[in-house]
Structure 1
Amino acid sequence: MKYEVAKCPFLFPVLPGIVTSLFFSLAVSQENYGQWTRSREISVNTSASGANVSATQTNYPLLVRLNLSNISCGNTTTGGADIRFAKLNGTHLPYQIERWDTANKAAEIWVLMDTVYGNNDGYGATNKIRMYSGKSGAVDSSDGGAVFDTSRGFQGVFHLGEATNDTARDATKNKFKGIPRNRGASGIGTGSNPADTIGLIGKAKKFLGDTGNNYGGSYRILTSTGGNTFDNNPLNFQNDSTTKNGIPQYTLSAWINIRLIPPTTTKRKAIIAKSMGANNAQYHMRLRDPAISNIYTPLKDTILLDFADGPSAVYKRSPPGFQQLEPWASSRWFYMAGIRSNTLGAIGNSRIYGFDSGDVFVGLSTASTTTTTIRSDYNAYIGSFSNDSGYFMGKLDEVRFENVARDSQWIKLNYETQKPGSTVVSVGTDLVLYRDLVYRTTTLVLTSGAAMIPDTLTITQTCSSAPYERFTISPALPAGLRLDSNTGVLSGTPTTTTGQVATSYTITASGPSGSATTILSIAINVAPVITSQPVTISYICGSPIRLGITASGLPAPTYKWIRQRGATIDTLTAGGIFSFNTRGDTLIITNAAPTDTGTYRCRALNVAGSAVSNNARLMLALATGNCTGSILDGRIVHNPGSNPFSYRIPNDGSIARVRMTVENMSRRETWSGEFEMGKSRVVSWNGTDHNGGKAPSGIYVVRLKLLSRDGGLISETREAGALGR
């Protein structure tokens, strides 16, 4: 795929300050982005000129805001189904489309990046990804559960983008449900509370509480099956596996837009709660009344975060700087995060972070030892306490429950990348891609030593284009092959002696507008080479024989064994007296007989060629008493009769004499004689030794040399047999 600067506007021209998201790739199918037509590079600046975050964060969800002002050039499909995010190396990044609003030209997408490097200006490749679009028929891969992974601490994530009166849906795989709760009263609308509204991140919810405590709207959080969230669920943190030093570790956070500060000491307003307020609490984040004043919060209008899941109630009111935010403007969003961590009874047991207009307020809890009765029999709520009181007045967006204690750098990165007007994330030039960078053959099967047919490519362009200037390939090609860096043509003669199984190679074409990639598969076959030859074997009748070779080659060779006896040549198959090992390169005779003598060879073959081994002979050396039959030379047969050492020599005109030698098992000569071939063509040994005495019973080997008239050796053969008395 090749990039060019778009002459037709990209689907997502991003407004100044657009925040973009990078995410880690979970179990998502890898895709070939050579089939997409458009791309943008997205970078994140965490240096002092950007988010000013020094710590590197992993498995971090970041927000992408896009403006859908132009949908020309076929940039995307309905609902953004073809939108994809990937690392620069093409590794897919999971993402969730929170909202895709074509009518209002707005989109918010969460993407997961494995690493966001701290103190990085985003100009290099480390804090940079690509966004792809423009593929017809692409299937929507949006997956909130992959982005907000429960194994990485996200237990409940509510974007609050559903329609009024609809169930609020949890983006994690826990799939908690927020059931709308509405207590109407004069001036408080019924049936439309919480109400859909424009939020900080796409849509949000407006909570219409009253100036009192008992009327308004909220969400009761239930399990995916409608069960209570009292205990034994991921939101009941006191029994969570992340408990440390006897205290659960967790984080509560939300973006808030406050309509009204509580007017009196009894009119507390809940943001997130699993409590009834006051001391009957497991945890809650709430607006505190203005009359509270102590050494920690000498001024009014405070945010209070209560944790009551240990033997003491620990809390923190915001510092005096919070007072500067009055009067509250309806367009002002404030980011709050409360973290439960550290050691019980110590300062900093919990902490609260607040962000607004560049100001950061950090508060630590006191070392409170006040004991309370711990209650876990409450459902979790958003926008009120668990007993339908303390209804919030204002807007809430992106409410999260996490069972990890996030550090201050994580919280700050949330604020800097989600706040309006952020310049932390930049979106690069819209690139139109060459959709088709196609080679004539994408799956090459070559033969070592044979020149390949040059593999050429064609390019189908989308919109206007600039020519390629350079082609590269990775990894390096096998020896003997080359890629023309100017034309992209692949050619050569592979020289590898070991071959190569199918291996993927990425070819990158580069030009003024960017680069494009395609993948080729190259396999190299090598003809068989015999590396170990069969050897001649002298065998004892009845013994097992294994005659083998070793051969290289790719693919692995198959084998054919051949036997030659005189003028007769046989191709051997399994069955009867012959069998083969699993590979077929070893011939096995379990119970050797005289008829197994002969000359053997093996042919190794595969699709690249074949090789034939040297000849190897099987020669009968010794035999048992039942070892009878023809001897090595197929022209000689046993003379009928009781003498096992009597042979009939063929009358072919060439054999003038036969020299017969008899040896015992110690290979010592027992008897020898020479026979003229006249009318009688029979040669025999009658069982005597050189002195005319009887040779003892046993196994003897008879050697027959067939001689011509001038004494030349025509052939020599032998047979073992038993002499009995």
Structure 2
Amino acid sequence: MQKTGRTLTITATVLAGLLVPTLASEAQAGWAHQRKITIDTTASGANVAGDVKGFPVPVRLDATNFDFSQAKPGGADVRFDDAAGKPLPYEIEKWDATAKQAAIWVRTDVKGNNATQAVTLKWGNPEASSESDGTKVFPKADGWLTAHHLAEKGAAAGYRDSAGNLNGKGVNITGDATGPGVVGNALNLNRAKSEYVLLPGSESSSLFNPLPSKGTFSVWSNAKTHPAAYIAMFSKGETGFRIHYFGSGDQTEPCIDVANYDWCPLPSGAYTKVKNNTWYHFVFVIDKPNAYYYINGKLEVGKTDTNAWKTTGTEPVTIGNNEKTPGSNSRKRSFDGLLDEARILSVPKDKNWAKLDFESQKPGSKLLKHKK
């Protein structure tokens, strides 16, 4: 009897030891294909020194790194896992199997100065249904207020906020107002038609009134022309944040209201000259009483103002304009060209985030490496 008991005990132990790998194997079952994607933040990659938590990494797929015939329509069976096999939240912004192009955002922690971190891309499961969800990639718990990819074809469908707060509405936009973006499609605005995107309700929303004393605002810009002063890429009128041209020159500036004046920190010396038909990435960080402005991942200026910040206002948030009254175009500061990835967070992001945000999205990014 004792011998039998010992045999049963050993068998149970063996089974318990085999249970975990069996379940892990079953979790992979059904997916015919998988591939490692390495995240490289060393000097030969994105060159980001510090860790960045909960970052939306853009994964671009094309004919050189993915066989679209092996996946379900719309990429419904695509999944991403971390190194431990844990599923990662993702959002499909674009999936065009005919053109063999896809743009997918994957939320994961990113290690600084590291070339060994990887995520696993899985596909090829006829039983899988889509789990694409922007609210999990840009979660409110992380401080996300809005995240607009601006990839929609025309104003009729609206401009979806992946954070799930405020969808955008096209003003004076007709037809397919898209163009090639840094990730997926971009918003293509025609200044002659006073086109822009309005966030309805933003003029009174508690998300922006009062405007948080801590926050991060970012947008990609590629101007066709710059024919007037203070043309705006991203703003909340004159009573909130702004990222716009400084006058009619080739300099841009961030602004926020302090006391009874506009505070627009600018560098005292050389500045980044913004050229037409070129993509630029702007990040404006407020961390009262400090403000930081990054262009293409580099700190343009950092300054401090200890006066009381004027953070209230009833003017709307607009992408590609600066408005006093929704739909009025009274200030005539509408943008002419391409805009992409307009985002707002209620938390101040650091230099590592700003650098990674630029390096991960820029054309020719070296952040990701697909292992076939």
Q: Scaled by the length of structure 2, what TM-score is found?
A: 0.84
Q: SS in structure 1 opposite 2:241?
A: strand
- Equivalent of 2:31 in 14, 28, 36: 36
Structure 2 match to 1:341: 287
**Distance (Å, rounded) in 1 between the aligned partners of 2:311 and 2:346:** 19
Conservation of the 8 A alpha-carbon contact between 2:315 and 2:323: yes
Q: Secondary structure at the residue paired with 1:397?
A: strand
Q: 1:60 to 1:237 in 2, by over 3 A?
A: farther
**1:252 maps to which of 206, 217, 233:** 217
**Residue 160 of structure 2 corresponds to which residue in structure 1?**
169
Distance 1:374 1:250, change over 3 A: closer
- Which of 107, 111, 116 is the matching residue for 2:110? 116
Task: For 1:85-484, list aligned pairs within 5 A.
Answer: 85-113=80-108, 115-122=109-116, 127-166=117-156, 167-174=158-165, 176-182=166-172, 191-192=174-175, 195-210=177-192, 216-222=194-200, 228-236=201-209, 238=211, 240=212, 248-263=213-228, 267-275=229-237, 280-290=238-248, 300-308=249-257, 313-317=262-266, 320-323=270-273, 325-326=274-275, 328=276, 330=277, 332-343=278-289, 349-355=290-296, 360-365=298-303, 367=305, 375-387=312-324, 388=329, 389-429=332-372
Q: Comparing both structures, which one devotes a greater share of its residues to strand? A: 1
Q: CA deviation at 1:237?
A: 5.1
Contact kept in structure 1, 2:147 and 2:343, CA below 8 Å: yes
The offset of 1:310, in angstroms, is 5.2
Specify whether residues 282 and 81 from structure 1 end up closer, same or farther in structure 2 by C-alpha distance, changes over 3 A only.
Answer: same
1:352 is paired with a residue of what secondary structure? strand
- Equivalent residue letter for 2:174: G
2:132 partner SS: coil
Q: Is the 8 A contact 2:209 2:311 kept in 1?
A: no
In structure 2, C-alpha distance between the alignment counterparts of 1:379 and 1:72, rounded to whole Å: 43
Q: Deviations over 1:127-146 (max 9, x none)?
A: 11110011112110101011
Task: Tell me, in whole angstroms, the C-alpha distance in 2 between the residues paired with 1:107 and 1:203.
Answer: 10
CA distance in 2, matches of 1:70, 1:333: 25
| Aligned-partner Cα distance in 2 for 1:70–1:316 | 43
Task: Find out whether 1:53 has 2:48 as its counterpart.
Answer: yes
**TM-superposed deviation, 1:74:** 5.8
Question: Which residue matches 2:3?
Answer: none
The amino acid of 1:340's aligned partner reads: I
Match of 2:62 in 1: 67
Structure 2 equivalent of residue 494 of structure 1 = none
CA distance, structure 2, for counterparts of residue 413 and residue 236 of structure 1: 29
Structure 1 Cα separation of the partners of residues 303 and 31 of structure 2: 52
Alpha-carbon distance in 2 for matches of 1:282, 1:220: 15
The DSSP-based 3-state class of the residue aligned with 1:32 is helix
**Structure 1: which amino acid aligns with 2:114?**
N
| Matched residue type, 1:48 | A
Aligned-partner SS, 1:92: coil
Please list, as runs of the form range in 1=range in 2, the aligned pairs for 1:644-663 lying within 5 A after superposition.
Answer: none
**What is the count of residue pairs matched by the alignment?**
340
SS of 2:220's equivalent? strand
Deviation at 1:321, TM superposition (A): 3.6
Which of the two has higher C-alpha Rg?
1
How big is each residue's C-alpha offset from its partner over 1:429-482, in whole Å with a ceiling of 9 and x where there is no partner? 1xxxxxxxxxxxxxxxxxxxxxxxxxxxxxxxxxxxxxxxxxxxxxxxxxxxxx
C-alpha distance 89-402 of structure 1, shift in aligned 2 (>3 A): same
Q: Distance in 1 between matches of 2:283 and 2:356?
A: 12
Q: Is the 8 A contact 2:68 2:100 kept in 1?
A: no
Q: 2:11 maps to which residue? A: none
Task: Find the counterpart in structure 2 of residue 672 from structure 1.
Answer: none
Contact 1:262/1:289 (8 A) holds in 2: no
Higher relative contact order (CA 8 A, sep 6+): 2
Give the distance between the partners of 1:374 and 1:253, measured in 2 at CA.
19
| Alpha-carbon displacement from aligned partner over 1:181-227 (angstroms, at most 9, x marks no partner) | 12xxxxxxx734x81112111111111114xxxx51111102xxxxx
Q: Which residue pairs with 1:514 in the alignment?
A: none
Gapped regions of structure 2 (runs ≥ 5): 1-24
- Structure-2 residue corresponding to 1:14: none
Task: Deviation per CA, 1:327-352: give whole Å up to 9, x if none.
Answer: x2x2x210001011142xxxxx2121
Q: CA deviation at 1:376?
A: 1.2
SS of equivalent to 2:313: coil
Cα gap change, 1:258 to 1:350, in 2 (>3 Å): same
Give the letter for the 2:243 counterpart.
M
- Structure 1 residue aligned with 2:6: none
The match for 1:78 among 73, 82, 89 is 73
- Secondary structure of the residue that 1:91 maps to in structure 2? coil
Q: What is the CA distance between 1:230 and its match in structure 2?
A: 2.3
Q: Which amino acid aligns with 1:268?
A: Y
How far apart are residue 260 of structure 1 and its match? 2.1
Q: Distance in 2 between matches of 1:220 and 1:97?
A: 23
CA distance in 1, matches of 2:155, 2:348: 33
Relative distance call for 1:231 and 1:50 in structure 2 (3 A) is: same
The normalised TM-score by structure 1 is 0.45
Q: Name the one with the larger helix percent.
A: 2
Say whether the 8 Å CA contact 1:220–1:381 is kept in structure 2: yes
